[in-house]
Amino acid sequence: MAEPFRAERAERVAAFVVPLPADRAFALFTPEGEKSWADGWHPEYLHPADGRIAHGMVFRTRAGGEDTVWTVARFEPPTLVEYVRCTPASRTAIVTVRCTPLDGERCTVAVGYAFTGLTEAGNEWIRAMDERRYAEFIDGWRSEIEAMLARGAARTAVQ
């Protein structure tokens, strides 16, 4: 008899500084705001259909060959948003983004993911997302946001 599936879990946190006030930076981590900097980010709004973010909002993404369903679990602007995301064939995660002011023009953005495997493929994915790879993943966010700011695209996305 085969052993029962054992889900693996990992928690990762990384942070970076954004040269924006916290309230403006916070807008970048909403589903609509992320479109301004995240290449390939195309949320499909399920509820509410107009894409207005609020507690309980549900949307779907299809990236990298994976379908993922997201639910807004906490929405506390301008400092905290938390999502529960599920990629059914692989894993689930609680994603927490917190914007903490440093001064009037900069803030720290801390991004935490708590992953849980749903399948052996999900467990393998989680093992591969070690501390180093996670830090690189979040540093990619920083790079994309800095590039967007350099292009001036943030003026419309975060005002």
Q: What share of the chain is helix, strand, coil (3-state, %, to 5)?
A: 30, 40, 35
Does residue 3 form part of some domain? no
Task: Report the CATH number that the domain containing residue 70 is assigned in CATH.
Answer: 3.30.530.20
Q: What is the mean pLDDT of the segment spanning 87-93?
A: 96
Does residue 113 form part of some domain? yes
64-79 tens-digit pLDDT: 889 999 999 999 999 9
Domain hosting residue 28, numbered range: 9-157
Q: What total number of domains does the chain contain?
A: 1
Mean pLDDT over all residues of the chain?
Answer: 94
Question: Does an H or E element contain 95, and which?
Answer: strand 91-101
99-147 tens-digit pLDDT: 999 998 999 999 999 999 999 999 999 999 999 999 999 999 999 999 9
Residue 157 has pLDDT above 60, yes or no: no
Contact between 68 and 60 under an 8 Å Cβ cutoff? The reply is yes
What is the rounded distance in angstroms from the CA atom of residue 68 to the CA atom of residue 85?
Answer: 7
pLDDT at residue number 125: 97
Does residue 43 form part of some domain? yes
Tokens read off for 26: 């916070």
